[in-house]
Amino acid sequence: MNISFIPLCEPTIHGNEWFYVKKCLDDHVISSVGGYVERFEKVFAAYLKGDHPSPLFAVACVNGTAALHVALLISGVQSNEEVLMPALTFVAPANAIRYVGAWPVFIDVELRTGQMDVEKLHDFIRKKCEIRGGRLVNRVTQRIIASILPVHILGHPVDMEPLVALAKKYHLVVIEDAAQSLGALYKNKKVGTWGDIASFSFNGNKVITTGGGGMVVTADPLLAKKARYYTTQAKDDPQEFIHHEIGYNYRLTNIQAAIGLAQMEYLNDHLTMKRRLANFYDESLIKVEGIKPFGKSLDAVSSHWLYTVVVDKDSYGMDSRELLFRLREKKIEARPLWHPLHLLKPFRSCYAHQIEVAEYLYRHSLSLPSSVGLKMEEQKRVVEAIRGC
């Protein structure tokens, strides 16, 4: 039988993308200058703001990693200072911290949700840090800690209320990496609006896509202005080409913004589809012994970016990697979570605070096909393959 390949997570293009891109080309607005980038930024900021009173500013970037780099630049973190982040996430935020000459400090994650463990974060501050001259200092490395960078992984929010309280207490800037979690809510407020600065990604496999793209979001108009400055080569006098600082060419193009504008129109549909997929997996896998979906916290609404399960070899009969290969044989793409960052070569010298859960989840977890366009019969095939193993 000729069965089709089921990818992990591929983009869905609906219709208006074609229309807006054609309009872009017809109007000859294809570079970064022209109305589409601005419109995309406005629509994006308005979506995140919802009915909250304070204004919000969005600055589009070439990709999510550039958005993180800019977020760190405007956060004020200095070279050789430290940024607290989870050990279990995609490598981009750790890389971006190194771009500005700072160092990540790795914190463990919660067993139930896989998100940065705020209690362990607090434990690290209590046991390993002290205040010197009004700044929090890591006693192990003797470096100043400048900020916390929570990453909302897989679509689920980090426990932001206690995290923000800790940040306030110790004067740390909060930079949210919301690349995987556009549309997720924590205590009825969107992810990306809890910290001082947030970044998003519109890579092909994310909740919405522009092919490649990213966004920096902040409620502080001065920080937004600075972000725009850094993404456009730090131009202080555009006529005479005067630059007082090192800048970057990080602006999104109009063609990508046109795709993004159209994708924003379908964002709620994407979230509905993702929720439906997650519910079906939940219902179908609950009776499979040894397969445990990642947990949700009560005050969270996930965007269900990638549906992920923990595989217990003893009760399931095979481990996560054996299941991965079994699914691959059936033309179903699954994926382990990211290698814990503190074990990767570029970050081995960074301080990691008692990390256990991140390593456990890395070894035992598997993300399942979660495309917005996944058909019911395809999802049933995934469930059957897991049940039948």
Binding site for ligand PLP (CB under 6 A): 63-65, 68, 89-90, 92-93, 151, 177, 179-180, 201, 203, 214
Q: What minimum distance in Å lies between the beta carbon of 303 and ligand PLP?
A: 12
Report the residue number, 213 or 369, with the smaller CB distance to ligand PLP. 213
Report the residue number, 178 or 278, with the smaller CB distance to ligand PLP. 178
Q: What minimum distance in Å lies between the beta carbon of 205 and ligand PLP?
A: 8
Q: Is 260 left (phi over 0), alpha (psi -120 to 50) or beta?
A: alpha
Report the residue number, 252 or 386, with the smaller CB distance to ligand PLP. 252
Please give the C-alpha separations between residue 65 and each of 29, 60, 93, 354, 377, in angstroms, as whole numbers: 25, 12, 7, 27, 35
Confirm if 100 and 76 have CB atoms less than 8 A apart: no
Q: Taking each helix axis from N to C terminus, what angle separates 64-75 and 92-99, rounded to the nearest 10 degrees?
A: 40
Q: What minimum distance in Å lies between the beta carbon of 66 and ligand PLP?
A: 7
Q: Read off the tokens for 4.
A: 């089709």
Please give the C-alpha separations between residue 119 and each of 92, 176, 191, 233, 309, in angstroms, as whole numbers: 24, 18, 20, 40, 23
Report the residue number, 34 or 214, with the smaller CB distance to ligand PLP. 214
Please give the C-alpha separations between residue 205 and each of 23, 267, 359, 362, in angstroms, as whole numbers: 25, 14, 24, 20
Q: What minimum distance in Å lies between the beta carbon of 59 and ligand PLP?
A: 14
- SS3 assignment, position 360: helix
Report the residue number, 129 or 368, with the smaller CB distance to ligand PLP. 368
Q: What minimum distance in Å lies between the beta carbon of 287 and ligand PLP?
A: 31
- Cα–Cα distance measured from residue 339 to residue 91, given in angstroms and rounded to the nearest whole number: 9
Report the residue number, 137 or 306, with the smaller CB distance to ligand PLP. 306
Q: What minimum distance in Å lies between the beta carbon of 288 and ligand PLP?
A: 27
Report the residue number, 86 or 369, with the smaller CB distance to ligand PLP. 86
Report the residue number, 67 or 125, with the smaller CB distance to ligand PLP. 67
Q: Which residues of 91-111 are buried (b: 16+ CB within 10 A; e: fewer)?
A: ebbbbbbbebebbbbbbbbbe
- Close Cβ partners of 318 (under 8 Å, ≥ 6 residues apart): 311, 326, 389
Work out the number of other CB atoms within 10 angstroms of the CB of residue 363: 16
Q: What minimum distance in Å lies between the beta carbon of 17 and ligand PLP?
A: 18
Residue closest to 89 by CA, chosen among 109, 67, 117: 109
- Cα–Cα distance measured from residue 303 to residue 292, given in angstroms and rounded to the nearest whole number: 19
Report the residue number, 210 or 254, with the smaller CB distance to ligand PLP. 210
Q: What minimum distance in Å lies between the beta carbon of 241 and ligand PLP?
A: 29
- Name the residue number minimizing CB distance to ligand PLP: 64
Q: What minimum distance in Å lies between the beta carbon of 305 and ligand PLP?
A: 8
Report the residue number, 67 or 310, with the smaller CB distance to ligand PLP. 67
Give CB contacts under 8 A, 24+ apart, made by 375-378: 376/280, 378/4, 378/6
Q: Residue 30, exposed/middle/buried by CB under 10 A (0-12, 13-18, 19+)?
A: middle
Q: What minimum distance in Å lies between the beta carbon of 357 and ligand PLP?
A: 18
* Dihedral in degrees, nearest 10, Cα atoms 339, 341, 344, 349: -160
